[in-house]
Amino acid sequence: MSISNYIIYFVTGGLVTVVIVALESSGHKTLSGLATLIPVFTLVAYFFIGKISGGSAVSQHAKFVLAGTLISWVPYMLTVAYFAPRLGPYKAILIGLAIFFVLAISFTLLSNRFGFFK
């Protein structure tokens, strides 16, 4: 794969992020909220994974992400929701990210070790 492909992937993800932030800062909170709920990284990644490796690869990755989301993302969000009013947003996000990474890394290592989602 060429460096130009990586540049296209990077720019595509960055543009979507910029649009979300621009919508939020311009007062379009409904559109920003909707755009934030769109799984931007998986959307962009699956488009390119599908182009390179086909539908089976996208399907296997989607199963991995779905399980990983339940295991790591849900506890992260619950942690931020619980701690933000008590400790402030930055500490809550930091604690949430610590929990997220412990769970996500553990899930990824176990998935690779036991051959889940192959």
Q: Do 13 and 41 meet the contact criterion of CB atoms below 8 Å apart?
A: yes
Same-domain check for residues 48 and 73 = no
Same-domain check for residues 19 and 74 = no
**pLDDT tier at 76 (50, 70, 90 boundaries)?**
very high
Query: What is the extent of the structural domain holding 65?
Result: 54-118
Same-domain check for residues 115 and 68 = yes
Same-domain check for residues 113 and 59 = yes
**pLDDT tier at 54 (50, 70, 90 boundaries)?**
very high
Same-domain check for residues 29 and 63 = no
What is the rounded average pLDDT for all residues in the chain?
91
* Alpha-carbon span 60 to 90, nearest angstrom: 34
- At a CB cut-off of 8 Å and minimum separation 6, what does 41 contact? 13
Same-domain check for residues 59 and 109 = yes
The larger pLDDT score, comparing residue 110 to residue 40, is at: 110
Same-domain check for residues 73 and 83 = yes
**pLDDT tier at 9 (50, 70, 90 boundaries)?**
confident
**pLDDT tier at 5 (50, 70, 90 boundaries)?**
confident
pTM of the model: 0.69
Token match 């990077």: residue?
Answer: 10
Same-domain check for residues 48 and 61 = no
Same-domain check for residues 41 and 62 = no
Q: Quick count: other Cβ atoms within 10 Å of Cβ 76?
A: 20
